[in-house]
Structure 1
Amino acid sequence: MLKAVVLLLLGFVGFSLQQKCYQSYKVECAKNDQTIEWKDFGNNSYALVKEQYWQQDAEKRCIELGGHLVSIHSKEENDFVHNLRNNNSVWIGRNKLNDPGKTGLTAGHYSWSDGTPDDLPVLWDKRQPNEPWSDCMFMANREDNFGEWSDYFCDQNPPVYYTPNPPYALCKKPKA
């Protein structure tokens, strides 16, 4: 009986820390940069950071690791990123947060957070865009999603059927 109570309490504490972790209380989150595995494609390295963030916190985490949230510039790169995410929902670095011409909630132009050229048409999921007031993009983990992009709010959890929720960060940096 005592063992069961201890296990239950440990499970609750672990769940509580996980909840706080993705609610931007990063002090309580264990960051183990040694477990992050970088994969090369072209002139860049990419990593799926299995830590849950809202989009702007995901970008900050990628900067800590020497990169940015992934920017995508070809169908081949998009396919690589899609395979790397391994059926997880992930933030990509495309957003409308820095658009100086943004005049309203639905206005604005998407750009990459790393400042690279916007040279690839938006690869919208067939049901997207569907959040007119949103400013960020992610790849959802639905069965019928093959790397297409979805729009959503930068500082809110996507619907519960997307996992993980909030999404992981997918970082990109120049190859060393």
Structure 2
Amino acid sequence: MHNFGILFIWALAACILWQGFFAKGQSGYICLIEDPKQNQYDSICLTELSSRLSEVVKAQNEGNKKLERLEVKIEKTQDKLLQEVQSKLEGQHANMEAKLEDSLLAVKTKLEGQQVVLTKLKVSQAKLEGSLLAVQAKLENQLQAVVNQLQAMSNKMDAAKVAVHAITIQSGFELIGTRYFQIVKEEVNWETAERRCREMGGYLASFRNEEESNAIRPRHGDYDYWLGINDQENEGHYVSVASQKPAPFLKWARGEPDDTNHEQNCVYWYNGEMSDIDCKTDAVYFICQADKET
């Protein structure tokens, strides 16, 4: 860069001297000095040109020195600015790191606190579940005790009812299970069977459950027996004639009931299963019960 500057100044100086110290006359270039005869050769002023060039070189050297000093000063200023910027950036980076570490520590502390709370909640939940299970087991045991007591009372009441019925029971009825029944082998229609049971002091039978049905089954032989159950008043709703309530136990044979024409409204029993047929059918035996409960 300096070499190019020197070359440029030398060229500039030559141009100035060429234009400033020479004038073009009729016979060529002349030197514009007081003593044009000294050191003059072929219209060129060597002495004046040498002096001027020396001044230019001196000025160039001084300019170079100033330029060098300026460059040193700029370099020092740049280094100082760089150091200040670097120091400031390092300080900001340190502050950012400190703030980030503090934030992370706060988040970690908060998470640890939440974990402690969650652990306590889990422990409390486990204790509560254990307490609930214990209470549930206790209630179930108490409920079962109440059920057992009620069953015992029911059995006692049934036994008392049987004893009362035994006192006033009509002849011909026998105790089968917990109730009194009479199996009558007379072939009659349903209305006749219902009337005959009333005449005997009882009602056309209706079983409470399958245990009663199974208890009577060995005694009935290979015959059909009328039961005190029908749906004459409301098709499909079978009631007991003894209690006038819905029949508590119905065990239908396969395909029964099959009252397609709404004419089979009375129920008969065979071999532990029930079917519906026309109430006017008169070739069926019947079973009476001594009480009017079902």
TM class, shorter-chain normalised? 0.5 to 0.7
Deviation readout 1:90-132 (Å, 9 max, x if unpaired):
00111023x3xx3xxxx34110110164353420001311233
- Identity score, percent: 26
Q: Which residue of 1 aligns with 2:198?
A: 63
What is the 5 A alignment of 1:24-173? 37-97=172-232, 99=233, 102=234, 107-115=235-243, 117-118=245-246, 120-132=248-260, 133=262, 134-140=264-270, 146-157=271-282, 166-173=283-290
> How far apart, CA to CA, are the structure 2 residues paired with 1:51 and 1:64?
14
Distance change >3 Å, CA 155–CA 119, structure 1 → 2: closer
1:66 touches 1:173 (CA, 8 Å); kept in 2?
yes
Q: Which residue of 1 aligns with 2:9?
A: none
Segments of structure 2 that go 5 or more residues without pairing to the other structure are: 1-170
The structure richer in strand per residue is 1
Deviation readout 1:63-103 (Å, 9 max, x if unpaired):
00011111111110111232232221100111023x3xx3x
1:91 touches 1:167 (CA, 8 Å); kept in 2?
yes
> How far apart, CA to CA, are the structure 2 residues paired with 1:39 and 1:126?
31
When the two chains are superposed, the root-mean-square deviation of aligned CA atoms in Å is: 2.2
Higher-RCO chain (CA-CA 8 Å, sequence separation at least 6): 1
> How far apart, CA to CA, are the structure 2 residues paired with 1:119 and 1:110?
6
SS at match of 2:276: strand
Segments of structure 1 that go 5 or more residues without pairing to the other structure are: 1-35, 141-145, 158-165
Over alpha carbons, which structure has the higher Rg?
2
1:85 touches 1:170 (CA, 8 Å); kept in 2?
no
The structure richer in helix per residue is 2
Number of residues of Structure 1 aligned to a counterpart in Structure 2? 120
> How far apart, CA to CA, are the structure 2 residues paired with 1:171 and 1:84?
14
> How far apart, CA to CA, are the structure 2 residues paired with 1:41 and 1:108?
29
2:253 touches 2:275 (CA, 8 Å); kept in 1?
yes
Question: Alpha-carbon deviation of 1:151?
Answer: 0.5
Distance change >3 Å, CA 121–CA 45, structure 1 → 2: closer
> How far apart, CA to CA, are the structure 1 residues paired with 2:254 and 2:216?
19
Question: Alpha-carbon deviation of 1:39?
Answer: 2.2
SS at match of 1:56: helix
Deviation readout 1:11-46 (Å, 9 max, x if unpaired):
xxxxxxxxxxxxxxxxxxxxxxxxx84320244211
